[in-house]
Homo-oligomer: A and B are copies of this chain.
Amino acid sequence: MESYRDKKQLKVDHMELLEATAPGIDLADFMPTSCIPPEELMEMVEDLIAKHIKYKPWKTFCKKVLNDEEIRTRMLMAPGAKTVHHAYVGGLLEHTLQVARASMALCDVYPNLDRQTLLVGAIFHDLGKAWELSGGLTNDYTDEGRLLGHIQIGQDKLEPFLKRSKTLEDSLKLHLKHLITSHHGEHDFGSPVRPKTPEAFVLHFADNMDAKLNIIDQAYVDMDKTGQEWSPYMRFLERNVYRAPGTPDNSKKNDDKPENQCLLPLKA
């Protein structure tokens, strides 16, 4: 930074092309990132596992997958989608965390559900997205992503861990694979198989709902800036969305929101 004719001037002496994954490089310095840093989101996911998963083989399985270096690195950086929702570094983890939380909250209302398998399914349902999208500065689909889709990629990534787990029952492995394969809910949305267990229905609902609520939350951020009550037409939702005036004296305080625009609740 120099001065030139009384104006500040950026002088570039030297330029170097760094890989996005080069040591010391934090992509979050260059790109929109989740409010809560990805590492903290990952810890929150691990806390959920610690809290809900009591069955040793599931616990081990989750630990092995999340501690795999390539998987962990990619999960920390991955967006939740290309453009529609959670399109920022940490977006995949933020979405994963909320789907897992919603699933656990629903297990309190429907206690007959297999809470542990459902949680494993929630945590890994979109794993393939970490390879479906290139992430990084140009967040585009990869060849693999377009030709196979994230459901297939996710299955391929989990398969070796499932094979290696000798203690996990085949029926649980099959149920987990079903949860992942069916989580889009309908053929139309790219699920080769539709949900056939209550856990698969719940995972699909939680996934679908979180994606939509995130889209609306982002529209709200823009509407806050302009003071509009109605969003512009949103192609993905095929409608305009509305911010209804809230119930007065609502026990919920919105105080944390204006501060950092961080829509994810810190502890839910």
Q: Which residues of A line the B interface, CB within 8 A?
A: 54-55, 58, 98, 101-102, 105-106, 108-112, 114-117, 143-144, 146-149, 151-152, 155-156, 159, 169, 171-172, 174-175, 177-178, 181-182, 187-194, 196-199, 201-202, 205, 208-209, 212-213, 216-217, 229-230, 239-252, 254, 257, 263, 265, 268
Contacts and interface: CB of A to CB of B under 8 A. Distances in A.
Contact of A242 (B101, B152, B197): B197
A110 to B, nearest CB: 6
A242 B201 contact: no
Given A58-B247, A187-B190, A205-B209, A147 B242 contact: yes
Given A116-B247, A143-B242, A149-B193, A109 B55 contact: no
A101 B268 CA distance: 16
Contact of A247 (B101, B114, B149, B181): B114
17 contacts: A58-B247, A98-B110, A108-B268, A112-B217, A112-B257, A117-B244, A117-B246, A143-B229, A146-B193, A146-B240, A148-B178, A152-B177, A152-B181, A152-B193, A155-B156, A202-B213, A205-B205
A247 B117 contact: yes
Given A155-B152, A156-B159, A241 B197 contact: yes
Nearest to A252: B111
A112 B98 CA distance: 14
Nearest to A254: B112
A249 B156 contact: no
A205 B148 CA distance: 19
Contacts of A171: 244-245
B148 A177 contact: yes
A239 B148 contact: no
Which one of A193, A205, A251 has the greatest number of beta carbons of chain B within 10 Å? A193
Contacts of A257: 112
Contact of A192 (B54, B152, B216): B152
Contacts of A245: 169, 171-172, 175
A253 B22 CA distance: 42
